[in-house]
Amino acid sequence: MADLQQEDWKSNLEADNNSIIVDVRTLEEVEELGIIPNAIHIDIFKGQGFIDEIQELDKSKNYYVYCKAGGRSAQACAIMNQLGFDNTYNLVGGFTEWQGEVSELK
């Protein structure tokens, strides 16, 4: 796992053709504040459900993970690393400090 500041996270993501964005906030947070475009939503508070959904993802991809402030996404990255995901990138400061585009959950 790598902790990346907003600028590095965004520039790495834009240059990465093998990337997937994962939002680990609650559904209520996503509905209230929006989501980074093209992100998949997997609520970390689902417990085993979170692990089950994560295990369905392609381990060869690079995962850019965020939450509201950076704590839950750091936990999610650690869990993903334990499950065999080699490339996880935590957004330091989370969605609260996000300066990029925002869309509604689809």
Assign residue 47 the CATH number of its domain.
3.40.250.10
Query: Is pLDDT at 101 greater than 90 in this prediction?
Result: yes
Q: In the chain, how many H helices and how many E strands? A: 4, 5
Q: How far is CA 1 from the centre of its chain?
A: 12
Candidates 24, 38, 54, 50; CA nearest to 104 is 38
pTM over 0.85: yes
Q: Is residue 50 part of a domain?
A: yes
pLDDT at position 42 = 98
Q: Which residue range(s) make up the domain with 22?
A: 2-97
How many domains, in total, are found in the chain?
1
User: What average pLDDT is seen over the chain?
Assistant: 96
pLDDT at position 78 = 98
Distance CA 57, CA 43 (A): 14
Query: Is pLDDT at 38 greater than 80 in this prediction?
Result: yes
Distance CA 76, CA 43 (A): 10
Q: Is residue 105 part of a domain?
A: no
Provide the 3-class DSSP secondary structure of residue 24: coil
Query: Is pLDDT at 70 greater than 90 in this prediction?
Result: yes
Q: How far is CA 68 from the centre of its chain?
A: 10
Q: How confident is the model at residue 105 (pLDDT cuts 50, 70, 90)?
A: confident
Q: How far is CA 20 from the centre of its chain?
A: 8
pLDDT at position 25 = 98
Q: Is residue 35 part of a domain?
A: yes
pLDDT at position 20 = 98
